[in-house]
Chains A and B, each alone.
Chain A
């Protein structure tokens, strides 16, 4: 069902030619998504320049870079959320399981590519109704109560909320709300989960829980996360892409990017010289 998009990978890891071993190990992976030659514009202002990379199946891919480098923009193109912004325009191709994401119904695409945002954004509904939301609007046939429990378990929230599923989601703490948003996204069984700085509004303990959760979630879906926290990228991701002013500077397996960066700009960034 999920055709791998292996050929795209050779373009996907630019400027890592020195380390062929790493490239070969990466090439053995199947790719869930492939981004090729993406240029992105807000009005006349170009914010992404010729980005090509692959998103490996059941791995965590992290996008890092200083503020305004375009990492959130790139993430939002993956489920076409950029189309909700007036004046946004994209050139290039993005492929999910071998099919262009632009050739399909945006609603079903977003069901397959879920998203969690920077700030927890539960709906003003009960915990249960929040998780059930995606199932209900998509007219899902599965028993809703079971699916809600499964998603809450996967989001490591079930034990904390199972006795008050019908309380308002706003009564949860910030970290719990964010895990609720993850559960809500998981409920529709997405193949890919996009996270836009999911921990930036959370305290360290909640952050640790979410990080742990993301690593576990690899089992069920492919994860792409944006973070401004390099340690976080190093801790949880398998692949890391470093962006700078709209350009993909380096994309490598995470250990390699952090230990032997192939580009001086990457090294300058990860050693804290700017950003």
Chain B
């Protein structure tokens, strides 16, 4: 082998291993986080964690039942705001709008998707907190719902567009109106994709902290109804992690583990829904 050829082989092997190493690093971040959470928080995830209110500093035990229920309520509200708007908007975008309108709406949705979540928080604060003069579950759910809109809108639109023209024509040739075609053929054909989209949007906002800081605020106790401040897992993690107490830190780790577990489960379910086959064959 000439020197030149040896050099080339060396460069090739070097670059190949570098790209491989980077790929491994990218993946291992997730597993490092997961491992770290399990090591630090695994021991504190107990039955009490899911059923008890937080204990005062120094007292052993206590849980985050209020934060878990709070997060559930916030996410339910977020779905009520984000899913219908995103879904119906996507139908308009995919089926009715002209190219110019579609471009503007799509562009705006992409920008909204890129707006920092803290800014969404401030916006929700001025719209849903200031006029009522108190923090509330409602305001927190509203903020999270705003974040879900662009995600749901854009991906639902993609899935609706991917329904083959032949199916639309098939329905119209049988005398279906445009609306009937959408309701009876297009949406049912794309439902797996739409369901996945909603689950992923859900997982995306489940861990958001910033929009909740000054909307849902946080709460050491139960929050009955929708009009009062409520605890939530991300904000509880934040508050506990910056506290000076060792046992609160452990609780924060545990909450982080529960939250990440929830998001992973939703993600895996979403992939599963999609993997069971696109509901329309592309042939």
Contact = CB atoms under 8 A, between A and B. Distances in A.
A79 B89 CA distance: 31
B180 interface: yes
A111 B172 contact: no
A184 B180 CA distance: 16
Given A107-B177, A133-B184, A137-B180, A123 B172 contact: no
Interface string A182-200: 0011001000000000000
Interface of B: 164, 166-177, 180, 184-185, 188-189, 279-281, 283
Contacts, number: 68
Contacts of A133: 171, 174, 184
A111 B176 CA distance: 9
A152 to B, nearest CB: 16
Interface residues of A, number: 26
B228 to A, nearest CB: 46
A124 B175 contact: no
B166 A137 contact: no
A107 B175 CA distance: 4
Contact of B173 (A79, A122, A125): A79
B163 to A, nearest CB: 9
Interface in A54-107: 79, 81, 84, 107
Interface stretch (A113-121, A234-242, A243-251, A264-272): A113-121
A119 B166 contact: yes
B172 A84 contact: yes
Contact of A110 (B168, B174, B184, B280): B174
Nearest to A105: B175
A121 B174 contact: no
B184 A137 contact: yes
A79 B168 CA distance: 15
A124 B174 contact: no
B188 A137 contact: no
B173 A185 contact: yes
Given A107-B177, A119-B283, A170-B281, A124 B188 contact: yes
